Amino acid sequence: MANTEDNLFKNVISHAKEYGFIFPSSEIYDGLSAVYDYGQNGAELKNNIKEYWWKFMTLLHDNIVGIDAAIFMHPTTWKASGHVDAFNDPMIDNKDSKKRYRADQLIEGVIEKLEEKIEKEVEKAAKRFENFDRAMFVGTNARVAEYQKKIDEINTRLKDAMANNDMAAMKQLVDDLEIADPISGTKNWTDVRQFNLMFSTEMGSVADDANKIYLRPETAQGIFVNFLNVQKTGRMKIPFGIAQIGKAFRNEIVARQFIFRMREFEQMEMQFFVKPGEEMKWYEFWKAKRLKWHQALGLGNDNYRYHDHLNLAHYANAACDIQFNFPMGFRELEGIHSRTDFDLKSHEKYSGKKLQYFDSEDNQNYIPYVVETSVGLDRMFLSVLASSYKEEKLEDGSERVVLKIPAALAPNKVAILPLMKKDGLPEKAHEIMNVLKFDFRCFYEEKDAIGKRYRRQDAIGTPYCITVDHQTLQDNTVTIRDRDTMKQERVAIDEVKAIISESVSMAALLKKV
């Protein structure tokens, strides 16, 4: 991360704490690694993101319904899903620094460096030649070819080691690439071991292996095991989807970068059940739809890009990420996967129960194929928070920090501020609030100078401030201040609701998708 981006990220993190968005978990005990709590403003923003997703899925698509499955599931679920045997990350320790790493990430770091070297060659050449043709240059330059050959070799070895579960080969690759620990600087590594990311606990009073259950590492399996319950009771016809928002838990080896990678997090997942053979059509459909959903927030279309997976998981026949330009660069925000019939087929095998659909049009039974959309709620939160955070220099030389959160997602929609704490102004302000609070989340504040109060509302992203002054008592007008332009306008109290409604409305945001 470049220095300025690093500083920006640090500022976002401390702002999130200072203004009640995110606190380290159990902070009075010095926190718990990679676990966070959402504060009073964070919880509101998070709920609004959930609402945006839930309504998009279940209101705008009459063939998608939502469920809320339990976190605990029968342990065989995780055998069938492949998580018991294959939900592992290869870990390695440096014996000197005692730090733990993911071996595949250390190796990928070498690949990234080689890719950066290629980019530098390209940049240098682009400056030298007019009418520069990147593809031609990359295809013919000897140094680039050498770097690319190395990348391909490393990729092949890494892929083979992962596919064959060959941890010795992975360690050999770390040694051959002469990877040093960034902390100790030494190459004094342990062997690479597989580490299962699922948290387990015991159910009931007897702690033995028979009672071992897992905290779900993804919400998707709660949907698969309920596929027939929902299809039958909801009389759903293929193609149809089941949506769910809920907690997931992963014992990540390296969990850092704030709420980007946590051990307890939330997912918003939708499994779309389709006729076998039609999955690629639906995969493309959901790829486009999900990108549009993100872009409708107005955080900048350039901040999103697709990243197609070349190495597919065992259950997928196509997969991509929607990446977002986070403060530390482009990273995965959402995954879109064509999961074939892997999950339902496997649950059929392990449970001995038929999980098939009778297609009355074709007069046949089949196990549907599945296209999944899976977005991390906390990553969505980070994308909104980080891209809304602005440090602005104003014309009068002062500075402000403002969260330009999309208005429909903002924790509070309007702040109601009596200019003074006397002369009946607080009473009038409460009167206005008592009308508006049924439609909008309002915030009331009477302490401190009005300028200071405006700054505090800017810092938590409140789109509108309404100021009640002495003129209000005479003619029933107030000033309304816009967070982004800071412009103030005098309007009749009766007009306030109409002015605010459109721009903070979730329905208006959904219409943009």
Determine, following the binding rule CB under 6 A, whether residue 250 of this chain makes contact with ligand GAP: yes
Q: Cβ atoms within 10 A of the Cβ of 178, count? A: 8
Confirm if 85 and 76 have CB atoms less than 8 A apart: no
Q: Give the strand order in the sheet containing 88-93.
A: 100-102, 88-93, 193-196
Determine, following the binding rule CB under 6 A, whether residue 89 of this chain makes contact with ligand GAP: no
Stretch that binds ligand GAP, among 21-29, 98-106, 265-273, 430-438 (CB under 6 A): 265-273
- Using the minimum distance from each CB to ligand GAP, give the nearer residue, 376 or 418: 376
Stretch that binds ligand GAP, among 37-45, 92-100, 257-265, 395-403 (CB under 6 A): 257-265
- Using the minimum distance from each CB to ligand GAP, give the nearer residue, 147 or 282: 282
Interior/surface letters 464-478, b for 16+ CB within 10 angstroms, e for the rest: bbbbbbeebeeeebb
Confirm if 269 and 218 have CB atoms less than 8 A apart: yes
Confirm if 414 and 457 have CB atoms less than 8 A apart: no
Reduced to 3 states (helix: H, G, I; strand: E, B; else coil), residue 59 is coil
Instruction: Select the residue interacting with ligand GAP from 332, 348, 439, 482 (CB under 6 A).
Output: 332
The token pair at 342 is 């892997």
Stretch that binds ligand GAP, among 258-266, 289-297, 407-415, 466-474 (CB under 6 A): 258-266
Give min distance, CB of 90 to ligand GAP, in A.
16
- Using the minimum distance from each CB to ligand GAP, give the nearer residue, 15 or 337: 337
Determine, following the binding rule CB under 6 A, whether residue 267 of this chain makes contact with ligand GAP: yes
- Paired residues of 195 in beta bridges: 89
Give min distance, CB of 157 to ligand GAP, in A.
24
Instruction: Select the residue interacting with ligand GAP from 46, 216, 261, 483 (CB under 6 A).
Output: 261
For residues 377 and 244, what is the distance between their CA atoms, to the nearest angstrom?
12
Determine, following the binding rule CB under 6 A, whether residue 418 of this chain makes contact with ligand GAP: no
Determine, following the binding rule CB under 6 A, whether residue 69 of this chain makes contact with ligand GAP: no
Total residues at the site for ligand GAP (CB under 6 A)? 19
Dihedral sign, Cα of residue 143, residue 149, residue 150, residue 152: positive
- Using the minimum distance from each CB to ligand GAP, give the nearer residue, 257 or 503: 257
**Torsion, Cα of 77, 81, 86, 87 (10° steps):** -80
Closest by Cα among 175, 168, 19 to 94:
175
Determine, following the binding rule CB under 6 A, whether residue 270 of this chain makes contact with ligand GAP: no
- Would you give the binding string for ligand GAP spanning residues 169-208, x where CB under 6 A is met? ----------------------------------------
- Using the minimum distance from each CB to ligand GAP, give the nearer residue, 378 or 469: 378
Of residues 205-224, those binding ligand GAP (CB under 6 A) = 218, 220
- Paired residues of 122 in beta bridges: none
For residues 341 and 358, what is the distance between their CA atoms, to the nearest angstrom?
15
- The three-point CA angle 440-442-448 to 5° equals 160
Confirm if 118 and 103 have CB atoms less than 8 A apart: no
- Using the minimum distance from each CB to ligand GAP, give the nearer residue, 104 or 218: 218
- Using the minimum distance from each CB to ligand GAP, give the nearer residue, 306 or 358: 306
Closest by Cα among 369, 404, 56, 82 to 243:
56
DSSP state string for 251-278: --SS--TGGGS-SEEEEEEEEEEE-TT-
Give min distance, CB of 504 to ligand GAP, in A.
26
- Would you give the binding string for ligand GAP spanning residues 363-402, x where CB under 6 A is met? ---------x-xxx-xx-----------------------
Q: Give the strand order in the sheet containing 442-444.
A: 442-444, 414-418, 464-468, 477-482, 488-492
Determine, following the binding rule CB under 6 A, whether residue 101 of this chain makes contact with ligand GAP: no
Determine, following the binding rule CB under 6 A, whether residue 265 of this chain makes contact with ligand GAP: yes
Q: Cβ atoms within 10 A of the Cβ of 434, count? A: 11
Determine, following the binding rule CB under 6 A, whether residue 252 of this chain makes contact with ligand GAP: yes
Stretch that binds ligand GAP, among 261-269, 288-296, 395-403, 467-475 (CB under 6 A): 261-269
Give min distance, CB of 333 to ligand GAP, in A.
6
Q: Cβ atoms within 10 A of the Cβ of 420, count? A: 13
Determine, following the binding rule CB under 6 A, whether residue 52 of this chain makes contact with ligand GAP: no
The residue nearest ligand GAP at its CB is 376
Instruction: Select the residue interacting with ligand GAP from 335, 406, 426, 461 (CB under 6 A).
Output: 335
Dihedral sign, Cα of residue 220, residue 225, residue 226, residue 231: positive
Stretch that binds ligand GAP, among 94-102, 329-337, 404-412, 472-480 (CB under 6 A): 329-337
- Using the minimum distance from each CB to ligand GAP, give the nearer residue, 53 or 464: 53
Give min distance, CB of 349 to ligand GAP, in A.
20
Residues at the interface with ligand GAP (CB under 6 A): 218, 220, 250, 252, 261-262, 265, 267, 269, 332-335, 372, 374-376, 378-379
